[in-house]
Amino acid sequence: MKQFMLVSMLVILFINKQYAQTKLFKEVGNSISSSIKAIIQDDNLVGYLSFTQLERANADSFHYRLTIMDENLNDIGELNFTELKLDLQAVAFEQDVLCLAYLKSNFVGYGAKKRRERKEQLSNASLSIHTQFVSLDGKIITSNTVKANVKIMSAYNTGYDREKIDDRVLKHPIQLKNMRGKGFACFYGDDNKCYVSVLNTAGKSIWSNDFMQDAENFVMLVSQQDIYLLYKKDQKLLEGGYWLTGYNVENNTAFAKYDLRDKNGHSFSVRAFGNDPVTGRPYLAGMILHNRKGNANMTVKQLAHGPYIGAFTAQIKHSGTSDIESVISDWSTRSQSEFSSKGRYQPTKSFILFQPAFKDYDGNAYFAGTSFKRKPRWGAIGATVITSPLIIPPLWILMLAGTQKIQTREALLFKQDKKGNLSYVNAIPSAHSGYLTGKMSLFQHMSLPEYYMVMNSDTKSNYLVVSDRKNVNIYSINQQKVIRTIPRKDGSVTTTIYTAKEGHVMVSEYNQKERTRKFSIESL
């Protein structure tokens, strides 16, 4: 969930402070690769782990180094070990034990192989799921390896970098979460089945299940003694097809599969799936799709036709999927006074591509998105009229330029209360684009802002981070204002914001001239 990766780092230089919250990484070569993963417990970031592949130990194995850091980037443990080719996928923490999940192979990730070499090694080649249990002082408690059912040559040919094991070698990537009081929940899918299991902190399997389900992807959520799986089927509406299922580990029961739709059969497009900060039970939030126009969302022109008919939140009240309470904000029935029946926000006459959704500590749901302004393209319209006797030229003008132009504007934030009323909260500054043709794809050709959520359970505060091509704006939901603006580019330094421990952000500053990357943990 909250994770990022850095590659090709050789020398790690520390700014020496007893309680340092800053680290500097200097790039000096490509022979050694390193990645940094967030250590997650109860969906909160509690530390960082640096995984470094060093030199080869022999023809089959590599030397590796794990560096364990706390939430303030202080080193608290280090571990060196030797193993076959590994690619770290996920890290979780429970009861002072780290669980690391890797992809492991004796064939994939060793570089390009000649045909003869491949034929000689293929009979014994394998790809596995490797779990490693490590104490905070850097000692391996135990390790487990389970062979995955994949076509090994297909895994070898996946991705462009032959020195790595690509994440896509599995049909469904590894997901790892801690389960409070029990250990760790792990999910993945290979060519045959999907697998979900619970391992205790000693590395022993205490519960497991496997199943077959045709799905594009899965998202796993742990809530108390339940493991929920949100999955998406391939269907006519590209953003629809969401289903929910899961298991109760305590009594070993499977939940009924729940089709995520409203009472009128409109599909839900899920934007958020997490545990409610008030109840601790799972919730989902997102948009409601029009049954016929639901795929018309690739351009602003299509967005204006009303592919979404409203917004929803769905709260799971008890264990299982039989008791789900939905709150619906349906503007297609004109029940939302500030929206037209096609979803145009009337006060600013703009259309909104809703992206993130989240809940606060008062039980309200929030929806944010990028707004778009649409205007006639009078030049193209005039040229079409003037050249209309020529037949062909006006058709080319209409096809290439269109009759409308669009511009990205501010990010708009809306609040949904418990009765389904959707109200405007505020506009968050975001870089405006130049006017572009209305036929421009929203996803392929436009630079849309990125959104991040930061929460602080101690102060019961929520923050929305909006990052565009010029600035990063940090907006306080509680104070209803932007509390900080950070330029993305300042000379040779490029700044990026990542999520960090509760109530904080990680600021990454990359100096292109000096080839250094500095990380700092900063409070909001």
pLDDT (tens digit per residue) in 119-166: 999 999 999 999 999 998 889 999 999 999 999 999 999 988 899 999
pLDDT greater than 70 at residue 15: no
CB 437, CB 449: distance < 8 Å = no
Higher pLDDT pick, 17 / 387: 387
**pLDDT at residue 391, as a whole number:** 74
What average pLDDT does range 90-113 have in this prediction?
95
Taken in order 66, 68, 69, 71, the sign of the CA dihedral is positive
Q: Compute the distance between CA of residue 151 and CA of residue 162 in angstroms, rounded to an integer.
A: 16
pLDDT greater than 60 at residue 13: no
CB 406, CB 438: distance < 8 Å = yes
Sequential DSSP letters for 253-287? EEPPPEE-B-TT-PBEEEEEEEE-TTT-SEEEEEE
Q: Compute the distance between CA of residue 242 and CA of residue 236 in angstroms, rounded to an integer.
A: 12
Percent of the chain with pLDDT over 70: 91
Q: Which of 126, 120, 130, 131 is nearest to 156 (CA)?
A: 126
Q: Which of 222, 221, 273, 228 is nearest to 246 (CA)?
A: 228
**pLDDT at residue 14, as a whole number:** 26
Higher pLDDT pick, 72 / 244: 244
Mean pLDDT across the chain, nearest whole number? 87
**pLDDT at residue 246, as a whole number:** 97
Q: Compute the distance between CA of residue 132 and CA of residue 252 in angstroms, rounded to an integer.
A: 25
Helical packing angle, 392-400 and 378-386, nearest 10°: 170
**pLDDT at residue 235, as a whole number:** 82
**pLDDT at residue 17, as a whole number:** 32
Which secondary-structure segment (H or E) carries 174? Answer: strand 172-179
pLDDT per position as a tens digit, 344-374:
999 999 999 999 999 999 989 999 999 988 7
pLDDT greater than 70 at residue 21: no
How does residue 390 score in pLDDT terms, banded at 50, 70 and 90?
A: confident
**pLDDT at residue 41, as a whole number:** 93
Give me 56's structure tokens: 């080869």
**pLDDT at residue 359, as a whole number:** 95
**Which amino acid belongs to residue 321?**
T
pLDDT greater than 70 at residue 393: yes
How open is the CA angle 180-451-185, to the nearest 5 degrees? 20
**pLDDT at residue 33, as a whole number:** 73
pLDDT per position as a tens digit, 455-466:
888 889 999 999
Percent of the chain with pLDDT over 90: 64
**pLDDT at residue 131, as a whole number:** 98
How does residue 398 score in pLDDT terms, banded at 50, 70 and 90?
A: low
pLDDT greater than 90 at residue 261: yes
What average pLDDT does range 290-303 have in this prediction?
85
pLDDT greater than 70 at residue 323: yes
**pLDDT at residue 136, as a whole number:** 86
Higher pLDDT pick, 51 / 19: 51
**pLDDT at residue 28, as a whole number:** 43
Q: Compute the distance between CA of residue 295 and CA of residue 13 in angstroms, rounded to an integer.
A: 50
For residue 478, what are the contacts with CB-CB under 8 A and spacing of at least 6?
Answer: 460, 461, 462
What average pLDDT does range 470-475 have in this prediction?
93
**pLDDT at residue 216, as a whole number:** 92
What average pLDDT does range 494-499 have in this prediction?
84
The residue with tokens 């297909």 is 154
505-511: long-range pairs with CB below 8 Å, 24+: 505/452, 505/454, 505/465, 505/474
Q: Which of 27, 166, 49 is nearest to 99 (CA)?
A: 49
**pLDDT at residue 8, as a whole number:** 25
Q: Which residues pair with 62 in a beta bridge?
A: 56, 83
What average pLDDT does range 420-440 have in this prediction?
86
